[in-house]
Structure 1
Amino acid sequence: MAHEKNQQLIQTLHECLEACNHCYDACLKEEDVKMMAECIRLDRECADICAFLEQSLTRNSPFSSDLAAVCAKVCEACGNECKKHDHDHCQKCADACFKCAEACKQFA
């Protein structure tokens, strides 16, 4: 299968997607949800682009490299926002986002 050579990136994307979904859900339960609005928005953006890139890699899309460059930007933005918050879920999400951004940059 064509995607086997990208298995590590696919795994990293999936871990980032899961971290973002967990952060998104946990942020919605925080006392001051308004303060978490940008974090919530970027969690969604990041999870969606990671899922889309993951799918593009499994079907050997000719656009995967371009999508990886965009994914890296979104992951960095999400990581930077999450890093601003002291919540454990935000810190774990930031770590996953930065790891994913680096992997996407290397692929792109």
Structure 2
Amino acid sequence: MQTVNDMQDCIDACNNCHQACLQTALTQCLQMGGRHVEPDHFRLMMDCSSICELSANFQLGGSPFSRRLCALCAEICHACALSCRGLDDMEDCTRACEACEHSCRAMAG
């Protein structure tokens, strides 16, 4: 059974991943170019950032849809972590995605 602390941990992981993906995509990836800005990778990072922000917002508002959204968020975070893992200097983003995936999977039940 999830506690208020579990939800707060998930909200924190979502917010951290939102920030990591957005900041990394718009600063580091754009500067590095090449594979870092290939459309599929860049779009995935932006999608991951967006769904993490939305997931945190749904949890904060007590939405009855937050569990299902957490499941989708975990799926997208997993894909983003895999995509980032294949590129140089993406360790922080990879770790943030993996932490959010783990936390969202737990919240999704």
TM-score, normalized by length of structure 2?
0.87
Q: Tell me: CA distance 1:24–1:31, structure 2 relative to 1, closer, same or farther (3 Å).
A: closer
Q: 2:99 corresponds to which residue?
A: 99
Per the TM alignment, residue 39 of structure 1 is displaced from its structure 2 partner at its CA by: 2.4
Per the TM alignment, residue 31 of structure 1 is displaced from its structure 2 partner at its CA by: 3.7
Q: 2:45 corresponds to which residue?
A: 43
Q: 2:82 aligns with which of 80, 96, 105?
A: 80
- Over the aligned positions, Cα root-mean-square deviation in angstroms equals 1.3
The runs of at least 4 consecutive aligned structure 1 residues that moved more than 4 Å come to none
TM alignment of 1:1-108, pairs within 5 A: 5=4, 6-25=7-26, 26-32=28-34, 35-36=35-36, 37=38, 38-87=40-89, 90-108=90-108
SS across alignment from 1:29 = helix
Query: Is the 1:28–1:40 contact (alpha carbons within 8 Å) kept by the matching residues of 2?
Result: no
- Distance between the aligned counterparts of 1:68 and 1:48, measured in 2? 12
SS across alignment from 2:32 = coil
Unaligned runs of 5+ residues in structure 1 are none
- Distance between the aligned counterparts of 1:57 and 1:50, measured in 2? 11
Unaligned runs of 5+ residues in structure 2 are none
Identity, in percent, stands at 31
SS across alignment from 1:61 = coil
